[in-house]
Amino acid sequence: MPAPEGSISETDRQSPEDSPKSWSHFFHVVEALALILAIAAIYYEGLHANELLKEVGGLAANMSTQYVADFPNSLGPISEELNKVCGTIDAMVDVAGYGFYSEPGGFDKYYEAIAKSASKDLKQRLETPGCANSKTDLSKELKLGQPGELKHPTVRMIFFSPDDRILSVHQQLKDLGRRAGMHPDEVGVFKAFAEKNKSLINRSEADEMVKAMNTPAGYHAFRVLLQRQLCEIEKDLRSNEVEVRYAKDQFITRWWLIDRKRAVFSFDHKAITESTFKSSDYQMLKNFNSIFDSWWRDSVPYSVYWDLKKKDHGASIADMPSGEDQDDPVDDVKGGSQSCIDIIPDLISSAEKKGK
């Protein structure tokens, strides 16, 4: 999940000569690349340590890989990159509402960039100056000149499964569920959250929720509220022809791959703020695209997941069929999203009985 709410200063974007922070940004880049390449090494087991170190050094010195910003200031730059899409966006993000709670205004721009990308006229887009070179490169993915030629760019998104995201949110809120009520400073944070998210909680509801949070029922209601909002966002994405799948396992990075040529990616750690980078490095993109394709094949299509959950709320995603060689029909948007909204309270209740 995105980092907890709080004020984050604007990212320092000065030149190395002017900024005392530039060296820390440099080392952040090296650390990030070391992590990403290590992940790639796990998937491509033939990469030896000395080769890994050489690649880290080369990429750190390569201006095609750059630090962007810390979350949530990164939402704007991510949206800008998404708006440049020519034919494909492949994204792995923990939740559909990435940034919604921390920076609603930034999320609106991020969501709009994804939704608009999925509805652009593909032929017109590929004729624009910035996309002319992508027409040949993306011909296979977009079925250009073939039966079934696509009319719009393809947008594929992989999220944590609802069971995993329920657990993830609980890990951030579990102290509230274990004791009676909020501490005074937590009340302030919660009301600030409500102030930012007026479409989710109005002021009077926030006051009532603070009072109710010291009861299991109040805590349950808040969890349901948050999860149902994610159901709504997924529904809206699918209504814009975005393909959605759920991962069988949690992943530790977030990335947005654009036209299989550019990437924006971020990672976070419990001890540091989530940092975002972008790259057009050929080898990095080659690894990212391969890893995404593998996750996509192994993930469960949205409609398959909710059809099986509707039949058996206790069904485990680990036992569900993956999406390999399957299309996820987006014409039944209403049915799938309604299942999500209806079933979420039961999934949360089941998790609560297990102490999750």
Average pLDDT, the chain: 76
> At 329, is the pLDDT very low, low, confident or very high (cuts 50, 70, 90)?
low
Does pLDDT of 131 surpass 70? yes
pLDDT tens-digit map of 279-323? 998 888 999 999 999 999 999 999 999 999 999 999 999 999 998
pTM: 0.77
pLDDT at 233: 94
Question: For 49-85, what is each residue's pLDDT tens digit?
Answer: 445 445 544 554 455 788 889 899 999 999 999 999 9
Model confidence at 28: pLDDT above 50 = no
Return the pLDDT at 219.
81
Residue with the bigger pLDDT between 11 and 57: it is: 57
Average pLDDT over residues 116-139: 77
- Residue 159 has a pLDDT of 97
- Residue 332: is its pLDDT beyond 70? no
pLDDT at 181: 58
Which residue(s) pair with 70 in the sheet? 275
28: Cβ contacts below 8 Å, ≥ 6 apart: 67, 275
Domains and CATH numbers, the chain: 63-179+214-353 (3.30.870.10)
What's the pLDDT band for 270 if we cut at 50, 70, 90?
low
Range with the lowest mean pLDDT among 124-128, 140-144, 198-202? 140-144
Q: Please count the other Cβ atoms lying within 10 Å of the Cβ belonging to residue 7.
A: 5
Residue 227 has pLDDT above 80, yes or no: yes
Percent of all residues in the chain with a pLDDT value above 70, rounded to a whole number: 66
What pLDDT was estimated at residue 339?
86
